[in-house]
Amino acid sequence: MLPVYLAMFALFGLVHNEAHQKMETLAQSRSNAWQRSNGGCEGEDESCPSCMAVEGSDDGTVYGDIDGAINGVGEIPIVGSILEGMLDGLFGSQTTVRASATIERPRLLGGGSRTATSSYTVLCNPVRTSVWEMLRNAFCGFVPFLC
């Protein structure tokens, strides 16, 4: 009976280690995504070396599909850039941060390693602009060849 208890105890330790690493990657991706969001989704955060930010239509979310469709509107001649600017202002932007960690498995269970990955998606805060910058951006959206 003792060997069964020892085996169960070892497996509980393995499951605990994998769950702990998964929760660590979730916390890292969440923290990094919120830091990027607060900065208007600009720049990179060096505090999480295993984190990777994915922008726009490559993030695999429904919002990414909407962003891809909005970018497709920009290819319409003459009115495309105006519509794209209006739709982009309406829907905003988002960032998805993916974090990963490698989990080493014990040799008794075959060894090797597993990768725990997690992702977190959050909308970006708008970058602060002055009234003059907003007016200039609106003007340049309608008449881009003058800017």
* Residues of the domain holding 30: 2-146
The alpha carbons of the chain give a radius of gyration, in whole angstroms, of 23
Could you give the CA distance from residue 144 to residue 125 in angstroms, rounded to a whole number?
25
Phi, psi torsion values for 29, nearest 5 degrees: -65, -40
pLDDT single digits (tens) 17-30: 888 889 999 998 89
Which residues have a Cβ under 8 Å from the Cβ of 109 and sit 6 or more positions away? 14
Q: How far apart are CA 12 and CA 56, in angstroms?
A: 40
For the cut 80, the answer to whether the pLDDT of residue 8 exceeds it is: yes
Q: What pLDDT, on the 0 to 100 scale, is given for residue 57? A: 47
Q: What is the pTM of this model?
A: 0.62
Cα–Cα distance between 40 and 72 in angstroms, integer?
Answer: 23
Query: What residues pair up with 95 in beta bridges, in sequence order?
Result: 55, 122
Residue 51: other Cβ atoms inside 10 A: 24
Mean residue pLDDT across the chain: 75
The domain total for the chain is: 1
Q: Please compute the mean of the pLDDT values over residues 35-40 and round it to a whole number.
A: 82
pLDDT of residue 127 exceeding 60, the answer is: yes
Picking from 6-20, 63-77, 86-100, 115-129, which range would have the lowest pLDDT averaged per residue?
63-77
Q: What is the pLDDT of residue 75?
A: 63
The tokens for 89 are 């202002």
Q: Residue 134 — pLDDT band, cuts 50, 70, 90?
A: confident
Span 56-86, pLDDT tens digits: 545 555 555 555 655 665 566 665 566 666 6
